[in-house]
């Protein structure tokens, strides 16, 4: 693949991050696998250099030595001397997921990293699924945390839970609408001033 393979390695791609795995570890694993693929390609043939080597004179029975021009490979570009051709890649991460979270992690390579900002600024819709356990509280709000409180939850009904979730969802939608109106007004004011 060589440098032409690196030039073709551009863009965005999605990777599934399972729970219990840090996003940085996943990014480093992807980088390692891409580097292995880039470095596994057949290296080009080594350059040939002309060297003057001592050798016996051809056709002479005397033990006389003379210099002869000989073509030998240059080992300065050999993989075992120089090391791997690619040692690091610039890989960007679209967003960071918590260790206990699972989901799609957007990674970018090369010029695709500039697209991450555009993707972030687009405010794409995100979908979350939350799982909880009623009646237990831990010190770090995760299921693997130390239990600090345990109580009954008979008073929690489906109707009450739906009502609270509707209030939360409504406040987020209201904030979204207010943000859109503010952005529209700011753009209009900027155009009027220009």
Residues annotated as catalytic are 98
Which residue is listed with tokens 């555009």?
118
What CA–CA distance (Å, rounded) separates 98 from 23? Answer: 8
Beta bridge partners of 12: 108
What CA–CA distance (Å, rounded) separates 69 from 186? Answer: 76
The DSSP element (H or E) to which 13 belongs, if any, is strand 11-17
| Secondary structure of residue 101 in the 3-state scheme | coil
Query: Is residue 53 within 8 Å of residue 70, measured between CB atoms?
Result: yes
């Amino acid at each position: 693949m060589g440098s032409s393979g690196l030039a073709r390695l551009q863009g965005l791609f999605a990777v599934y991050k399972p729970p219990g795995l840090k996003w940085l570890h996943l990014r480093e694993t992807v980088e390692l696998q891409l580097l292995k693929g880039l470095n596994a390609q057949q290296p080009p043939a080594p350059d040939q250099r002309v060297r003057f080597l001592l050798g016996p004179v051809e056709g002479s029975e005397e033990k006389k030595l003379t210099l002869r021009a000989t073509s030998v490979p240059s080992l300065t570009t050999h993989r075992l001397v120089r090391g791997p051709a690619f040692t690091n890649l610039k890989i960007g991460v679209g967003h960071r997921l918590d260790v206990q979270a699972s989901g799609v992690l957007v990674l970018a390579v090369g010029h695709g990293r500039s697209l991450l900002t555009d993707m972030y600024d687009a405010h794409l819709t995100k979908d979350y699924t939350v799982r909880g356990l009623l009646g237990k509280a831990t010190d770090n709000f995760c299921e693997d945390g130390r239990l600090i409180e345990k109580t009954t939850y008979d008073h929690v009904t489906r109707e009450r839970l739906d009502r609270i979730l509707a209030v939360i969802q409504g406040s987020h939608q209201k904030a979204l609408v207010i943000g859109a109106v503010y952005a529209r007004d700011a753009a209009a004011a900027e155009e009027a001033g220009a």
